Structure 1
Amino acid sequence: MPMIDVYATAGTFADKHQLAKDLAATLMGIEEVPDIPMFRQNTAGFVHELPAGDLSNVDGESNYVRVQVLTNAGALDRDKQLAVVSRFTSMIADAAGDPTLTDRTWVLLTEAVPGGWGLGGHANTNEELVAAAREQLSR
């Protein structure tokens, strides 16, 4: 149940909701997770707009986008990591209408520690999430 956070200067994206939805669906596809309610309801993208001046590189430029992807441990093998970074970078540039943004998009891949997925008021381990998914698949 990955979470995706996008940080960009306000006005970078015309349709933040569509971008968040598209990123979430793309990540589910790359991860090859079962298309069950538990995963659909808990895979989400969040687009955070920062006021002008709230982000900068060392040279003072603020036309960058930061994307952080949080997945459960082991969800992305190397091929999937490469696919997420490549596809997300392209999607960000397309959503911004700026092909040069591919050079200024940072994608961070982060894995949750065991017990790091709080869902339904419970800190779930990978094993608990897999068991819950298998139960839903069997219905």
Structure 2
Amino acid sequence: MPMIDIYATAGTFADKHQLAIDLATAVKAIEEVPDIPMFHKNTAAFVHDLPEGDLSNVDGDTNYVRVQVLTNAGALDRDKQIAVVSQLTAIVAEAAGDPGLSERTWVLLTEAVPGGWGLWGHAQTNDQIVGAARAEIGRLSAGN
């Protein structure tokens, strides 16, 4: 159930809503979580427009994008980390209509500490998240 934050100078993306959907969908697929409402409703991307001049590297370049992906601990093994970085970079460059942006996109992968994933008003542990998913799968299988 990742949370994804995208930071870029305003105007970088023509369709920010579709970008958010595409990024959330990609990470959900890479994580290989069950296709249940719990994961649909709690996997999201937030696009943050920065005013011109609010972003810069050491040389003063402003045409960069930062994507931060927050997951629960252990959600991404090494192969999944590589896939997330690769796919999100490609999605960002395509959404911007700028193939060169793939060289100027930073993707940061962060794991919430155990018990540090707040969901439904409670700090969830990984075991609690897995338990909630199993319970939902059980309810869906039973037709409830």
With the shorter chain as reference, the TM-score category is: over 0.9
Whole-Å Cα distance in 2 between the matches of residues 108 and 76 of structure 1? Answer: 13
| Paired residue secondary structure (2:137) | helix
| Paired residue secondary structure (2:80) | helix
Structure 2 length normalisation: TM-score? 0.96
Whole-Å Cα distance in 2 between the matches of residues 28 and 3 of structure 1? Answer: 10
Partner of 1:120: 120
- Are residue 109 (structure 1) and residue 113 (structure 2) matched? no
**Count of equivalent residues:** 139
Partner of 2:142: none
Structure 2, unpaired ranges of 5+? 140-144
Deviations 1:27-51 (A, max 9, x none): 0100000111111101000000000
Alignment of 1:21-60 (within 5 A): 21-60=21-60
Q: One-letter code of the match for 2:74? A: G
| Paired residue secondary structure (1:46) | strand
| Paired residue secondary structure (1:63) | coil
Structure 1 length normalisation: TM-score? 0.99
Structure 1, unpaired ranges of 5+? none
Q: Percent same amino acid at aligned positions? A: 76
| Paired residue secondary structure (1:52) | coil
CA RMSD for the aligned pairs?
Answer: 0.5
Instruction: Give the drift of 1:82.
Output: 0.4
Alignment of 1:1-139 (within 5 A): 1-139=1-139
Whole-Å Cα distance in 1 between the matches of residues 47 and 138 of structure 2? Answer: 34
